[in-house]
């Protein structure tokens, strides 16, 4: 997909070490655990995602939802005020509704479990957006508007009239680096790795976590660790 | 008198009716061109010129697609039911009905195109067809059904075309052997056409009904409901077209037929009402989260549309058609048919809006809208209003359909020849 050469190789060694994926099995299934206990709702992941992937104005691949009535508004629980966030992006489902409904196989699974988009094949019918229960797909309604006159990020901009979404920063994964949102999270609330490797940290944590809309049977590759203590305000 | 020279308006002088016909055809051509221009404008600028956004990703085009799929039911009910169940009364309008079905299903297929963000890639649906996609099933059945209805129209009019020496008879004649073959083919085709019609509406329903992401749609009742809606709107449109073409002396039938069709429409309205009610009760009864879209429908933003569907689209036409005295007046039956067609349109609009305006993970700030916004680029609800461009495109497609229908009415013998010829 990316037709730009990733400058990741040019990063200083310390930075590359920090972002390295680490040991994994021979046939990895990439997955992510998001620790809601650690999330502070700072939107760093959402913002770096926009610049990393050149997501145009008005569209977001990655959002931070507040579990409550309004953004960053505390909610009352058992007489205490609390505030939790739910960072939401493509769940890279194993049983992905979007892959099932795409009439032209423009959205498909890679061998490593990632749900990918073929932007040259997509006909822009938006059926995948209808099918996705997580609402993480965005459409290129018009010519992309950007805050700067030039393109940003590490991947090519998507054509008008196609659906786009989180690629789990596949261009970084293919260079042995974790996705941008994982790398940038200041509280290390995102843990990335190989779900096929039982010894990996992500596998161990995934067992403790839950998936979103489990009753829908989509089998996401993204797991959530519930907030474990009450924040009293 | 060959079919082609019949004046469109019976009582008027041929010249005057010709000029009225010319104005009508020219107006339709002009509207078609306007629609094409609007479509070109949309292709150049992207779907941002429509009222759709990520919060309401399907709109008027898909609405008209499913509406026209439904309208195409009328022809097959009349043609197949007449043949399979031996309802002879339908005979005078059979040809009209199958023609209506053909044009309606063609328009349904056309309406998919402007909905696509990349219409020039539409052939990918055939080149890279995904077997698990209901949309692929649907396009397959739409194409099948179009070809089937065209065959039907030809089979029903072929002998009369041959008698008039028309090249559209494709060289076939009217020998007893060929006439006998016609009857065999018609019967055989009815057995294929009826299941295809049921599949067409069911698959269209499954595009929506199989999606776990849309709680309001995810219901086994969707396919039966789509069949019921199709029966209502399809039959109502056939009634309207039959009365219209009788006025223009293109077909002949007694008022008894309209009374009969009106009664049938009343039955279909009851089935539609029953399924809608059953669905609403099942969805609303558990309360809580699942009832969200229902409550929105009954009391919220879309309440007016919903009650229009029920009162104007179901109750009023049912009362008109259920009472024998009102059912015997073709004018009132026509009124009921107009209301029924409009009611089914609003029903489908409600289905679309309430299905899509509900996000399963509806936490704030919601879904990203998709285009640069001055304040926040997120929203959890979006009041969808079609833009002028969307209306012009729809108008263009409708005008094209009317044009096709008009030409077909002028070229094809809709009236059976035998009773008058012998």
pLDDT of residue B289: 60
Question: What distance in Å separates residue B355's CA from the closest CA in chain A?
Answer: 9
Q: pLDDT under 50 in chain B at which residues?
A: 1-10, 419-422
In chain B, where the domains are located = 19-371+380-416
pLDDT of residue B2: 42
pLDDT tens track for A157-191:
999 999 999 999 999 999 999 999 999 999 999 99
Contact B50, B41 (CB under 8 A): no
- The DSSP-derived string for A132-159 is -TT---EE--SSPP-SSSS--SSSPPPP
pLDDT tens track for A69-116:
899 999 887 788 888 999 999 999 999 999 999 999 999 999 999 999
Q: Which residue has the higher pLDDT, A135 or B15?
A: A135
Best probe of the A interface among B216, B372, B373, by most A CBs < 10 A, is B372
Interface of B with A in 115-154 (CB under 8 A): 115-119, 121-122, 124-125, 127-130, 132-136, 139
The torsion angles phi and psi of A222, rounded to 5 degrees, stand at: -110, 130
Per CATH, the number for B19-371+380-416 is 1.20.1630.10
pLDDT tens track for A10-29:
778 888 888 999 899 999 99
In chain A, where the domains are located = 27-225
Residues of A whose CB is below 8 A from B53? 141
CATH architecture of the domain with residue range A27-225: 2-Layer Sandwich (3.30)
Residue of B nearest to A125 (CA): B116
Segment A48-55 shows an average pLDDT of 94
CB proximity list for B11: less than 8 A, separation 6 or greater: none
Q: Pick from A58, A101, A213: which is nearest to B372 by CB?
A: A58
Residues of A whose CB is below 8 A from B115? 125-126
pLDDT of residue B301: 73
Question: What distance in Å separates residue B99's CA from the closest CA in chain A?
Answer: 29
CB proximity list for B115: less than 8 A, separation 6 or greater: A125, A126, B58, B61, B62, B65
Beta carbons of A213 and B116 less than 8 Å apart: no
pLDDT of residue B113: 97
pLDDT of residue B297: 72
Q: Tell me what percent of the residues of chain A surpass a pLDDT of 70.
A: 95
Question: What distance in Å separates residue A83's CA from the closest CA in chain B?
Answer: 13
Beta carbons of A59 and B368 less than 8 Å apart: yes
pLDDT tens track for B52-106:
999 999 999 999 999 999 999 877 777 777 777 767 788 899 999 999 999 999 9
- The CA distance from B100 to B187, in Å, is 20
């Amino acid at each position: 997909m990316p037709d730009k050469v990733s400058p990741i190789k040019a990063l200083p060694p310390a930075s590359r070490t920090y972002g390295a994926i680490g040991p994994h099995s021979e046939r990895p299934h990439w997955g992510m655990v998001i620790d809601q206990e650690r999330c502070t709702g700072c939107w760093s992941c959402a913002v770096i995602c926009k610049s990393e992937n050149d997501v145009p104005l008005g569209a977001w691949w990655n959002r931070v939802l507040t579990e409550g009535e309004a953004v960053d508004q505390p909610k009352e629980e058992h007489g205490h005020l609390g505030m939790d966030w739910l960072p939401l992006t493509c769940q890279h489902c194993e049983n992905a509704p979007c892959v099932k409904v795409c009439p032209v196989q423009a959205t498909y699974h890679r061998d490593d479990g990632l749900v990918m988009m073929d932007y040259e094949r997509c006909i822009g019918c938006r059926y995948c957006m209808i099918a996705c229960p997580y609402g993480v797909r965005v459409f290129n309604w018009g010519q992309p508007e950007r805050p700067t006159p030039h393109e940003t990020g590490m991947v090519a901009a998507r054509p008008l009239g196609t659906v786009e979404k989180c690629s789990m920063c596949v261009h970084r994964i293919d260079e042995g680096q974790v996705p941008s949102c994982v790398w940038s999270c200041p509280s290390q609330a995102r843990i990335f790795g190989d779900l096929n490797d039982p010894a990996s940290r992500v596998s161990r944590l995934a067992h403790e976590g839950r998936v979103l809309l489990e009753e829908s049977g989509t089998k996401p590759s993204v797991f959530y660790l519930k907030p474990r203590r009450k924040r009293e305000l | 008198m060959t079919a082609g020279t019949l004046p469109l308006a019976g009582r008027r002088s041929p010249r005057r009716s010709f000029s009225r016909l010319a104005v009508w055809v020219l107006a339709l051509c002009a509207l078609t061109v306007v629609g094409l221009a609007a479509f070109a404008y949309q292709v150049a600028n992207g779907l941002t010129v429509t009222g759709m956004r990520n919060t309401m990703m399907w709109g008027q085009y898909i609405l008209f697609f499913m509406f026209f799929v439904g309208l195409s039911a009328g022809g097959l009910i009349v043609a197949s039911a007449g043949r399979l169940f031996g309802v002879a009364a339908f005979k005078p309008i059979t040809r009209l009905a199958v023609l209506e079905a053909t044009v309606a299903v063609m328009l349904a297929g056309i309406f998919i195109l402007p909905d696509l963000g990349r219409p020039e890639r539409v052939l990918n649906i055939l080149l890279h067809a995904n077997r698990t996609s209901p949309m692929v099933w649907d396009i397959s059945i739409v194409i099948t059904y179009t070809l089937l209805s065209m065959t039907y129209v030809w089979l029903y009019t072929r002998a009369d075309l041959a008698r008039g020496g028309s090249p559209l008879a494709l060289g076939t004649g009217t020998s007893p052997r060929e006439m006998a073959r016609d009857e065999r083919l018609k019967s055989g085709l009815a057995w294929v056409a009826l299941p295809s019609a049921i599949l067409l509406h069911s698959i269209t329903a499954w595009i929506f009904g199989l999606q776990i992401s849309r709680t309001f749609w995810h219901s086994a009742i969707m396919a039966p409901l789509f069949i019921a809606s199709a029966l209502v709107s399809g039959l109502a449109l056939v009634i309207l077209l039959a009365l219209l073409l009788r006025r223009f002396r293109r077909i002949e039938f007694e008022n008894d037929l309209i009374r009969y069709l009106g009664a049938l429409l009343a039955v279909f309205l009851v089935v539609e009402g029953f399924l809608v009610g059953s669905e609403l009760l099942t969805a609303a009864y558990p309360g809580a989260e699942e009832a969200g879209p229902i409550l929105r429908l009954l009391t919220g933003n879309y309440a007016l549309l919903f009650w229009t569907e029920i009162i104007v689209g179901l109750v009023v036409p049912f009362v008109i058609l259920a009472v024998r005295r009102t059912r015997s007046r073709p004018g009132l039956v026509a009124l009921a048919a107009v209301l029924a067609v409009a009611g089914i349109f609003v029903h489908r609009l409600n289905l679309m809006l309430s299905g899509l305006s509900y996000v399963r993970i509806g936490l704030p700030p919601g879904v990203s809208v998709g285009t640069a916004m001055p304040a926040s680029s997120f929203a959890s609800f979006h009041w969808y209003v079609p833009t002028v461009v969307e209306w012009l495109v729809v108008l263009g497609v409708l005008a094209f359909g009317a044009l096709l229908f008009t030409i077909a009415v002028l070229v094809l013998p809709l009236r059976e020849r035998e009773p008058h010829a012998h």
